[in-house]
Amino acid sequence: MEGHESALIFALGHMTIEGKATMSLLFVLSLLSWAVIFSKTLSIWRQRRAGKRFDEAYAELDDSLGLDVEQKPYAAAPALTVYEAAREEVERQRTHRGRLMERDLPSLRAVLEKSVNLESVALESGTIVLAMAISGGPFIGLTGTVFGVMETFSGVAQAGQANLAAMAPGVAGALVNTIVGLIVAIPALFAYNLLTKSIQGVQVSLAGFAGDLEARIVAEHYGQGAQLETPKLAASH
């Protein structure tokens, strides 16, 4: 219809101060969630690429502790942190006792488990922002809507004009916040699920590497007969 104003533009033009404040908060939350989405996606892509190179270099080692950790192609690999921690612990034991002893294996195992857990926590960093957007976005939007509707009814009551024409602009402006809250939450929900799945894959690979590294170090540097365990992952939230 000629001259018909868009519903969204009409609603935005009739938002209350509370509604605009809520909209601003949702806008900030949206910016933060999209920043996390892009940064975590890029980070995981880099870690996977570096991890593949690291795994290839590690598989070719005759000595499990002989990898040149200064090489840049796999500097971003999560497994590199675990590897460096294990190598430092072995060197510490060798320096402290003059030789490696089987009774020191629990200490090596603890270092591996700690480094795996720390790296797992680092992988999950930032996802809390997406969780906040998912759970908080709709409720923040709903709060703005409730304030807007309350303001509309209050204005109508004070003006004594209880008709649709008087109420419609305020209600339309209030409902925008609910829509924006959903717009903030829905992309965050999909991104959170995809990123979580990718992070869990990296964590499983990391735990497997730690178990293999421990087995090789024991066989090559401590001798036979040690009971092996795979380091446990930190609980995912």
pLDDT in tens, 94-152: 888 777 777 888 899 999 999 999 999 999 999 999 999 999 999 998 888 888 777 77
Cα angle at 54 between 49 and 55, to 5 degrees? Answer: 100
Q: Which of 127, 237, 140, 143 is nearest to 184 (CA)?
A: 140
Cα(194)–Cα(100) distance, integer angstroms: 43
Tell me the pTM.
0.79
What's the distance, CA 49 to chain centroid?
19
Per this entry, what is the length of the chain?
237
Closest by Cα among 181, 71, 192 to 130: 192
pLDDT at 235: 52
DSSP codes joined into one string, 116-140: HHHHHHHHHTTHHHHHHHHHHHHHH
Cα 103 to Cα 117: distance, rounded to the nearest angstrom? 23
Q: Report the C-alpha gap between 230 and 121 in whole angstroms.
A: 18
| Tens-digit pLDDT profile for residues 151-201 | 777 766 666 666 565 566 667 777 888 888 999 999 999 999 999 999 999
Q: Percentage of the chain surpassing pLDDT 70?
A: 80
Residue with tokens 């089987």: 102
Question: Are 147 and 175 contacting, i.e. CB atoms less than 8 angstroms apart?
Answer: no
Q: How many CA atoms lie within 13 A of 176 on its CB side?
A: 27
> How far, in Å, CA of 70 to CA of 59, rounded?
17
| Best CA proximity match to 18, nearest among 115, 200, 141 | 141
Task: Confirm if 130 and 141 have CB atoms less than 8 A apart.
Answer: no
Burial class (CB in 10 A: 0-12, 13-18, 19+), 171: middle
Are 89 and 222 in contact by the 8 Å Cβ rule? The answer is: no
